[in-house]
Amino acid sequence: MYIWPKEIQQIIAEVLHAQNPITCLEKFKNYEPAKKITFLLFDGNQTTNFQYITHDYNLSKYRIVNLGNYANTAIITTSMLLDKNDLTAIKTAYSVNIDSNIVSMLPQLLKNKPITPDFLNFLVYIKKNNLDLNISPYLLEDSLNSSGMKNEARAYECLLSFFSFSDLSLQQLYSLPISPDVIAFNHADDAWSQMKYSRFYERNDEKRVRSIYCFLLKVYIIEFGSKKSSRKKLIELVDFINTNLGIYLESGLLLAYWYFNKSYNCVLDFFQKIQPGAKDKLKKVEGMAWDLFHLWDIPTEMAVQSHTYNAIILQAFATHDDALAQIAKLNPIVRIAFYQQEAQVKYKLSLSNFLHNDPIIDSIIDNQKQRECLCETVDLIELSTQLEHEFLNTIK
């Protein structure tokens, strides 16, 4: 969003935070560049037709989580406001991004062994409701993380089982194991080639997850490295963002605030993976960074797909990580703006809800330009290496 025109940034900020977003957008309906902005509102009072395409599933830690109240989805654009009597039908769709922990279970479908009833019930629900699944989170994570694709046979098996399941009928699901057909092998081969290319040529260019990884390392360094108050810990974290990271992670800061304050059990459950004496600490932090990325990247994926297919595509997240699912529910999205295949998000809660008139908020606002400049030049690989050494020396 840093590269968006300032006028667009201002319009989006005003509408996302307006008490009456429609009235607010009315002011800009004759401003030509504003036609390229689409707003999704999930905080209205009326249930809309989106209720018929969205789903919410929760059984034995298998979860399908909507990141906002999708049943209330309303769409507004300046074009709608200019001619309210000539509204064309809007194409809509709903897809479910599946977490790597679920993808890793799918190879069970290829084997002549019984699968757990809870997992089978989850798969049956998907088939009965004809849900469109998206394997992108797995493709990105296993090809770009430090330990991904080490067992190539296992990774390919995950792809093959996913594409086999995608074309499976409900009746076939009751007659396991699956016998992959040629189409499934072709799709798996294409996805495999994509993953191999990303691993060899794109790993060092990935910045979004690495920035979250750096952020989490610093959170743990602060938490385990001092006995300061939770407020002083937050001040130190904000200073790190302003002067070293250059990337403002609004949801991350709120998550860190809750962690420092021991506010919610699900947040503590998420962060407790790292303890003194634990094995593979860096690998676990990296896994956590990918978990958060999958959640926080969904609005961008919605923007890209909505632009690509000229539709409004809502995305949910399916996971077997109960703490991650609860965190997603803890702070739902209330409004989104799409512009140039990117998204700006307003969550229900932010730090300002808890820190009224606090200098910490002023520090975040006053250092925006400094972060923008730093974001263009920061070497995240070098920064992560420095933080890894400090992290391992702090938490032994």
Q: What is the per-residue pLDDT across 319-378, written as a single tens digit (0 to 9) for each?
A: 999 999 999 999 999 999 999 999 999 999 999 999 988 999 999 999 999 998 999 999
Question: Which pair of structure tokens corresponds to residue 179?
Answer: 């016998």
Last residue of a domain, one of 142, 177, 201: 201
Among the listed residues 112, 163, 176, the one whose alpha carbon sits nearest the alpha carbon of residue 133: 163
The amino acid at residue 229 is S
For residue 112, what pLDDT band results from cuts at 50, 70 and 90?
A: confident
What pLDDT sits at residue 61?
86
Number of domains making up the chain: 2
Label residues 250-282 b or e (16+ Cβ within 10 Å = b): bbbbbbbbbbbeebbebbeebbeebeeeeeebb
Same domain, 280 and 377: yes
72 within domain boundaries = no
Question: Which pair of structure tokens corresponds to residue 192?
Answer: 């495999």
Q: Give the range of the structural domain holding residue 115, as residue numbers without chain letter.
A: 92-201
152 within domain boundaries = yes
Same domain, 196 and 209: no
* Axis-axis angle for helices 136-144, 182-201 (nearest 10): 40
**Cα 183 from chain centre:** 30
Residue 170 has pLDDT above 60, yes or no: yes
Same domain, 163 and 122: yes
Same domain, 101 and 244: no
* Summary mean pLDDT of the chain: 93
Q: Give the C-alpha separation, 342 to 339, whole Å.
A: 5
25 within domain boundaries = no
Same domain, 266 and 167: no
Question: Which pair of structure tokens corresponds to residue 3?
Answer: 């590269």
Residue 121 CB-density burial (10 A; 0-12 exposed, 13-18 middle, 19+ buried): middle
Same domain, 260 and 154: no
